[in-house]
Structure formats: C-alpha cells, structure tokens
Amino acid sequence: AQSVAQPEDQVNVAEGNPLTVKCTYSVSGNPYLFWYVQYPNRGLQFLLKYITGDNLVKGSYGFEAEFNKSQTSFHLKKPSALVSDSALYFCAVRDILTGGGNKLTFGTGTQLKVEL
C-alpha cells in the first residue's frame, strides 16, 4: 500500500516569512501526490497535485510544492506566509483499492500556525 508521512504535528511561522510543511511518501510505481487544506469547521480543500512533469507544482493561494524523487518528498511551500494560512494541512497519495479503483491515502496532518 502507498503511504505518506507528515513528520511535524505543528509548524509555527511568523507572517511574511517563508513556510514549509513537510511530506514524505512511500509508493510502488509512479506517485500521484496531493495537498489539501482544512480550515476550522470546514471540509478539506484541494490545493495542488503532482502527477507528472515539472517537479515544482503551483497551486491555490500562492502555495507550491516540490516533488523530489531522490528524497521521496513532496514538501508544501509558500514564499511569504499570511495569518490567514493558519489551518490543518494534509498530504495525500493515490492508492489502489483491492476492490478496484483508486483512493487517496492521507497523512496525519500538520497544523500550521502563522503569527504576527
């Protein structure tokens, strides 16, 4: 089974500073990787995905993620954090269901806190 790991439960960063939320993956075959964000009392929102092509993927709200095959990582980044970026971030990988079809396997989530 495919899996992702988010090694940090929480990341704190000052507004205006760059932010990184880490994710590593373990897959057999080519990885399909995703980032989602969850604001309080809301469902998960799709941010970006890597399927193939450029290793730097740009997504919503100024976020981007860098796919690194040698390090099996897919870290989420933003050059300048905003207080409004404070939320729970999930990394996910496409996985195969035994009954057929695909699903997303999510990491445990990283709480991002951006402070003034």
- What is the binding site for another protein (CB under 8 A)? 32, 34, 36, 41-46, 49, 51-52, 90, 94, 97-104, 106, 108-109
Residues linked to residue 99 through DSSP beta bridges, in sequence order: none
Longest dimension (CA), the chain: 48
Please, what is the minimum distance in Å from the beta carbon of residue 41 to another protein? 8
Please, what is the minimum distance in Å from the beta carbon of residue 13 to another protein? 23
Considering the complex, state which of residue 65 and residue 81 has its C-beta at the smaller distance from another protein: 65
Q: 3-class DSSP state for residue 13?
A: strand
Considering the complex, state which of residue 15 and residue 22 has its C-beta at the smaller distance from another protein: 22
CB atoms within 10 A of CB 8: 16
Please, what is the minimum distance in Å from the beta carbon of residue 16 to another protein? 30
Bridge pairing between strands 3-5 and 24-26:
antiparallel
